[in-house]
Structure 1
Amino acid sequence: MRRRHTGWAVGAAAALLVTGGAIAYTAVEDSGGPSTRTPDTRSADAGFARDMAVHHQQAVEMSYIIRDRTENREVRGLAYDIAQTQANQRGMMLGWLDLWGVPKVSAEPPMSWMGMGDAATGKDGALMPGMATHTDLDKLRSLSGKQAEILYLQLMTAHHKGGVHMAEGCVATCEVEAEKRLAQGMVEAQRSEIELMAGMLKERGAQPIS
């Protein structure tokens, strides 16, 4: 059983401050030094950092929603871990974009760096595969207790599956070693959480959304 966590906002802010202080050093050291080409705005490195930062932001948002919709310690503990981890990673990716001097927003459709482009964009606010729609988020805000827990776990499972697909794309095509390692870590951690959430859904008599 996970411990109940408190002080979410303070913890997330502290994580981002620590991350911000290490961003420049890590990216310069691990990208190979001055001789390595800086990623440009159309590179897989920049595309992944941009898109995953948006993807992560929604995971953080959903985790903060469920925090206020349930008292279940296990679900709140999972949500806390996801919010902290993904806020931290999002800070790293936005920092890299600053370091590389490329825009955080692109005119290119999401996931163009993976060759998906317009095919990746869904409807009702779901910008990338796995992302929840505006309707999904409104429904999550309207529920409480077990019903909210089930919907959160279903939405986050789908969200993680989309994130794993994108992270695998970066592992295969990104050039900055620090970013490739971050992406590989996302694949492993999110696959583990997908298994955990499958068990939590089963305990509640529910299944992931296919």
Structure 2
Amino acid sequence: MSTEADLAPEPEAPPERPGWSRWVIIGAALLAVLLIGATIGMFLTRLADGADDTATPKAGSVEVGFAQDMSTHHLQAVTMANWARDHSTDPEIRQLAFDIQSTQLEQVGRMKGWLMMWGQPEQAIGAYMKWMTEPMGHGHGGSGPMPMQPANGAPMPGMASDAEMAKMQTLTGKALDVDFLQLMLRHHQGGTDMAQYALDHSQLPAVKALANSMLTSQGAEMNQMTLLLKARGAEPLPAP
């Protein structure tokens, strides 16, 4: 004999979430990180500078040049990390890529926040790294300024060329993981001199603090990537 519960209709399954909704959520999260970074950047700079207009960095200064060029440098790392996170099947690579993407996107937001508050364009006009006018004592023996044009034709040291980016996007499996690690390790190495120069020459505490944070976090990631490459039987690319 059937009971009332037996005759009740089966509850309907919830509708399947469309595939594109995942990307909408991820995109919204990334935008939120960028906006948070911009807000933090503006707040910290206002806190450090107060209301003194003479403390506002001008075009061509270390502070403006660093924010413009490092943002461009970082955004390529974010692009590479996003690709590796979405296409690698290795949990270690995916976690590393997520960490790099999250950290550098927040830092880009912070630097763009500074530029907005300083009334400066997000992109440098003319050649990159013109703000680095003093001889470098870090990694170049103090004999002269760091090279402005990398051998691979990329805009700044450590950055991947268009051909290298295109090649990475054709790879899968271990080949993709190794290529990503090699490109990202070189990318971090290339950004080190910019961060060190900003730390040594900027007059703004907020800029010096961010540069120091980059050196610390990327130094740890470079050590990690070197070990990950060794575990996969691969070597780093030549330093930029």
Q: What TM-score do the two structures reach when normalised by structure 2? A: 0.79
Cα distance between partner residues in 1 of 2:46 and 2:150 = 35
Matches within 5 A, 1:58-207: 58-115=76-133, 119-122=147-150, 126-207=154-235
Q: How much has 1:124 moved relative to structure 2?
A: 6.1
Cα distance between partner residues in 2 of 1:204 and 1:122 = 27
Q: How much has 1:36 moved relative to structure 2?
A: 4.7
Cα distance between partner residues in 1 of 2:166 and 2:194 = 25
Residue type at the aligned position of 1:121:
Q
Query: Is the Cα contact below 8 Å between 1:31 and 1:178 reproduced in 2?
Result: no
Unaligned runs of 5+ in 1: 1-5
Aligned residues: 205
Which has the larger displacement, 20-29 or 125-134? 20-29
SS of equivalent to 1:142: coil
Which has the larger displacement, 153-162 or 98-107? 98-107
Cα distance between partner residues in 1 of 2:216 and 2:50 = 24
Relative contact order, CA 8 A, sep 6+: which one is greater? 1
- The 1:29–1:102 alpha-carbon spacing in structure 2 relative to 1, beyond 3 Å, is same
Which has the larger displacement, 150-159 or 120-129? 120-129
In the alignment, what sits opposite 2:69?
A: 51
Cα distance between partner residues in 2 of 1:17 and 1:105 = 18
Query: Is the Cα contact below 8 Å between 1:120 and 1:128 reproduced in 2?
Result: yes
Which has the larger displacement, 104-113 or 154-163? 104-113
Q: How much has 1:107 moved relative to structure 2?
A: 2.5
Identify which of 11, 24, 30 aligns with 1:12: 30
1:5-40 CA distance string (max 9 Å, x none)? x96434322212322333322111023542652100
1:28 to 2:46 alignment: yes
1:61-83 CA distance string (max 9 Å, x none)? 00111123211111000000101
Cα distance between partner residues in 2 of 1:67 and 1:146 = 13
SS of equivalent to 1:112: coil
Give me the CA root mean square deviation: 2.0
Cα distance between partner residues in 1 of 2:168 and 2:162 = 10
Cα distance between partner residues in 1 of 2:205 and 2:94 = 33
- Larger proportion of helix: 1
Cα distance between partner residues in 2 of 1:69 and 1:105 = 30
Residue type at the aligned position of 2:188:
H
